[in-house]
Amino acid sequence: MSYLSNIDPEIADLIEKERQRQTHGLELIASENLVSRAVLEAMGSIFTNKYAEGYPGKRYYGGCEFYDVAENLARERLKKLFGAEHANVQPHSGTQANMAIYFATMECNKDRLMSMSLSQGGHLSHGSPVSFSGKMYQVTQYGVDLETEVLDYGVVEEIARKVRPKVIVCGASAYPREIDFKAFQQIADGVEAYCMADIAHIAGLCASGVHNTSVGVVDFTTTTTHKTLRGPRGGAILCDQENAVLVDKAVFPGMQGGPLMHTIAAKAVCFKEALRPSFQEYNRQIVKNARRLAATLMDRGLRLVSGGTDNHLMLIDLSDRGATGLEAETALGKAGITVNKNTIPRESRSPFVTSGLRIGTPAITTRGMKEGEMEQIGELIAVVLQDLHDEGTIRRVRGEVAVLASRFPIYPD
Ligand code: PLP
């Protein structure tokens, strides 16, 4: 960082402060992870200097020979990881991967999209009125059963038959249970709709066989590369060969200009890492850790949405404690435990306040923490949630968090 410190000490200082925050705290945001040094190096490389509009072998700029090799490596590795026929690694983000599928399959201001509502676990880009997706398409949303707090596929099918959408989206940002991708594709087939699975959160789990996979099952799979896949921030799309041209055209020139080639190089590194057997072991541990953390929180009297978790995340329902998600996020943040407030199925508060907390284990599992540490973290969270305004407890927990974090360095030398 010596060049940066000389040219822009303000930014260098902020990066150093963030390094300290990540090092001494616990990152429990379910959508985050910690990339390897190799991924960081590829991302911070001179690959950022080049325009490479188009695809390998068909670029609109000269000098792309090394970029073609890198993008092909990324595509082939991602295909191998998921057993897919076709991969597009150019979307700049998960939202843009979803946008590309909508562009590939639907007519703007005309066609109908069906998806899970944001307040019950879906994502903004699945048709929320404040997102392009809700403004450009006619959206109908399904949610979870309010008693069981899990998806009811019979109800999803009923809605699909009534609405007859062009695309049915499955996949979520805050759903702690396994999603049955086969059931969604069957429902879509029954109403002659496309099925798109957004596996942004659970991609690593799907690639590792810890969660059933959508690839080869649904028409289109989209993902981010920075969550359980543990790569650079970005998106990707997987589909069968018959839809390959449709998808590629929708990404470029349909939606994006020049691909972020430094990010694509870093995606290639991430996929290589994910093809190692240790990645499967890592994803198994993510789920074991989530289960143990969930059990500890429930033992301490906290209510979890749907009564637990099958994946990497859980939702704490604070509504019976008279506390809001915002207050809980703030108190835990002061204690060095980073989480995010989240709506829960019977939400009565605004998305900025909420009655829930979303907690995930990908980043702490990357640090090497296991079930024993999950019990300790569960206890620390429960103690803070006991009295959100007890500054003495928050200070004590912060000290314990720092000691725990120091045993699991992010980038051990
Ligand atoms: N899809 C799902 C299910 C997500 O949870 C997210 C982000 O959290 C996205 C898409 C969007 O990803 P991005 O922030 O890269 O646009």
User: Tens of pLDDT along 132-157?
Assistant: 999 999 999 999 999 999 999 999 99
- For 44-49, the CB contacts below 8 A with 24+ separation are 44/262, 45/262, 45/265, 46/262, 47/261, 47/262, 47/264, 47/265, 48/260, 48/261, 48/262
Q: Which atom of ligand 1 is nearest to the CA of 98?
A: 10
Q: Is 51 a catalytic residue?
A: yes
**Contact criterion met (CB below 8 Å) for 187 and 153:** yes
CATH architecture of the domain with range 41-274: 3-Layer(aba) Sandwich (3.40)
Ligand 1 binding site (Cβ under 6 Å of any ligand atom): 31, 93-95, 123, 125, 171-173, 198, 200-201, 224, 235
Whole-number Å distance, alpha carbon 305 to ligand 1 midpoint, is 21
Q: Residue 112: in which H helix or E strand, if any?
A: strand 112-116
Q: Is 17 a catalytic residue?
A: no
Whole-number Å distance, alpha carbon 188 to ligand 1 midpoint, is 22
User: What residue owns the CA closest to ligand 1's atom 4?
Assistant: 173
Whole-number Å distance, alpha carbon 396 to ligand 1 midpoint, is 34
Token pair belonging to 224: 């981010």
Indicate the top mutation candidate among 173, 223, 226, 312 to test ligand 1's pocket, ranked by most ligand atoms within 8 A of CB: 173
Q: Could you tell me where in the chain the CATH 3.40.640.10 domains are found?
A: 41-274
Length in residues, the chain: 413
Q: Which atom of ligand 1 is nearest to the CA of 95?
A: 16
d(CA 381, CA 246): 47
Q: Could you tell me where in the chain the CATH 3.90.1150.10 domains are found?
A: 277-406
Q: Is 224 a catalytic residue?
A: yes
Indicate the top mutation candidate among 120, 123, 358 to test ligand 1's pocket, ranked by most ligand atoms within 8 A of CB: 123
Token pair belonging to 351: 């998305």
**Contact criterion met (CB below 8 Å) for 300 and 106:** no
177, 230, 233, 267: the active-site residue: 233
**Contact criterion met (CB below 8 Å) for 291 and 378:** no
Whole-number Å distance, alpha carbon 88 to ligand 1 midpoint, is 17
32, 51, 80, 111: the active-site residue: 51
d(CA 376, CA 398): 13
27, 198, 248, 347: the active-site residue: 198
Q: Please, what CATH class does the domain formed by 277-406 belong to?
A: alpha beta
> Over its length of 413 residues, how does the chain's per-residue pLDDT go in tens digits?
789 999 999 999 999 999 999 999 999 999 999 999 999 999 999 999 999 999 999 999 999 999 999 999 999 999 999 999 999 999 999 999 999 999 999 999 999 999 999 999 999 999 999 999 999 999 999 999 999 999 999 999 999 999 999 999 999 999 999 999 999 999 999 999 999 999 999 999 999 999 999 999 999 999 999 999 999 999 999 999 999 999 999 999 999 999 999 999 999 999 999 999 999 999 999 999 999 999 999 999 999 999 999 999 999 999 998 899 999 999 999 999 999 999 999 999 999 999 999 999 999 999 999 999 999 999 999 999 999 999 999 999 999 999 999 999 999 76
β-sheet bridge partners, residue 86: 239
List of residues 6+ apart from 240 with CB closer than 8 A: 85, 86, 216, 219
pTM value surpassing 0.75: yes
d(CA 170, CA 116): 7
Indicate the top mutation candidate among 120, 125, 205 to test ligand 1's pocket, ranked by most ligand atoms within 8 A of CB: 125
